[in-house]
Amino acid sequence: MKKLIIATLALSLLMGCMAGYTPRIPIETPATNEDDGGDILPIPPQPVLEKVTPNGLVLRLLELEKEKAPGGSVILSPLSIEMALAMASNGAAGEAKEAMETLLGLNAEQLNSLLGPYLLKEDNTLSIANSMWFNESMKDLVKADFQETLRTVYAAGEGSFTPGSQADADAINGWVKEKTHDKIDSIITPDGLTEDTLALLINALYFNGKWADPFEEWQVTDETFRAPSGDQQARLMDGWEGTYFENEWGTGFAKDYEDGYEFIGLLPKTEGAVDLSALDIDEILATRTGAYDVHIKIPKFELEYSTSLVDTLSGLGLGSLFAPGSLNGMLTDEALENDWNAWVSDVLHKTYMKMYEEGTEAAAVTAVIVECATAAMPVERETKEVFLDRPFAFLIRDTQSGQVVFCGIISSVEK
């Protein structure tokens, strides 16, 4: 199987549709040699956060994931990790709380107000589920109101586990498999349920987008996908659409799903691997026009991948989230008095995507792993064409809110 990177992010992008919402991403600052003198390992100097649009944040996440495997495919689900991170934000404290609010542009209460109603959205395309799982021996360390917030705002189901238990790992993975309609069958192993593991905060997302205008069998042909590693045989779906994008970076088109979602294919004008350095998503989306008949081609593919987002989130300025004490806001006063500290030890993510004649089927799971220990802190028109027969970028988004559900770079269509 060719190496593929499918990553999902843990950031709040739904808020991007709000007037005045301006998230921030990091810019590099010189490292310092200052010693904090404490017993906890010092947190590396954090980048200064600069203002960026929500789509700029999507782009930065794509760039950070792309760095892990140049020339490889990258698929992100902003919504899935947004949900998981938003649940964790209700327990954030200190520097981590400040960093999350700065990056996301909203505090936990504002996130809850935005995301809660989104869970109530009813359509046949997207389903979202959340759950929280607590270490049986440490559940008493967790504030009751933290648990209640996740129940009421995020409709989170609740379970428990015993460290190292195969049965409990199976139960967690069974929930994942059910909520992703059998597309992702696991997110944790028994070894991942350690004595220090306090909780797992999990989001599962399933997308089953049916094209408003599906492809017929006769519209699918054997052609060549020009991957950076060499030409590949591919099945390309051929059709016509009416929405076109173009700027200096590239061209693109939109194809509608049912229930108010759309696929946006973005093809760079430069051949070879997708270079994001000159791409401005807001700029190219602003060129949207219905003035052309657009001849399109989309490759059929089925891809999956799993990754850890620790480096990506740290690169966005959330390194403090992985330091002891970052989630002390979820602990009881008694736990804090006894020097317990909680923090995020990992953010695991798995995704699946299938592009075919009838639409797009995709799934994503994001698990925030929380550890806890005692420690210090029809008119004839001009014709345009966009053939996705070489590396391209894409977005799948909610057309009403602007929420990006999936995004990515397809550099190869082979498993």
Tell me what the mean pLDDT of segment 341-360 comes to. 96
On whether residue 245 sits in a domain, the answer given is yes
Tell me, what's the pLDDT at 188?
96
Number of domains in the chain: 1
Beta bridge partners of 251: 246, 267
On whether residue 392 sits in a domain, the answer given is yes
Strands (E), 214-311: 220-227, 230-241, 243-246, 250-256, 261-268, 293-299, 301-308
On whether residue 389 sits in a domain, the answer given is yes
Kindly tell me if the per-residue pLDDT of 84 is higher than 90: yes
Average pLDDT, the chain: 85
Q: What is the largest CA-CA distance in the chain?
A: 75
On whether residue 19 sits in a domain, the answer given is no
Half-sphere exposure of 280 (CA within 13 A, CB side): 9
Report the distance separating Cα 276 and Cα 268, nearest Å.
9
On whether residue 394 sits in a domain, the answer given is yes
Beta bridge partners of 304: 352
Kindly tell me if the per-residue pLDDT of 337 is higher than 50: yes
Tell me, what's the pLDDT at 104?
77
On whether residue 374 sits in a domain, the answer given is no
On whether residue 265 sits in a domain, the answer given is yes
Tell me, what's the pLDDT at 26?
53
Whole domain around residue 394: which residue ranges? 210-301+379-408
CATH number assigned to the domain comprising residue 288: 2.30.39.10
pTM of the model: 0.84
Report the distance separating Cα 401 and Cα 115, nearest Å.
12
Report the distance separating Cα 162 and Cα 394, nearest Å.
41
- In tens, the pLDDT along 232-256 reads 999 999 999 999 999 999 999 999 9
On whether residue 218 sits in a domain, the answer given is yes
Tokens 């020097």 label which residue?
339
Measured torsion, CA atoms of residues 319, 322, 323, 329, in degrees rounded to the nearest 10? 110
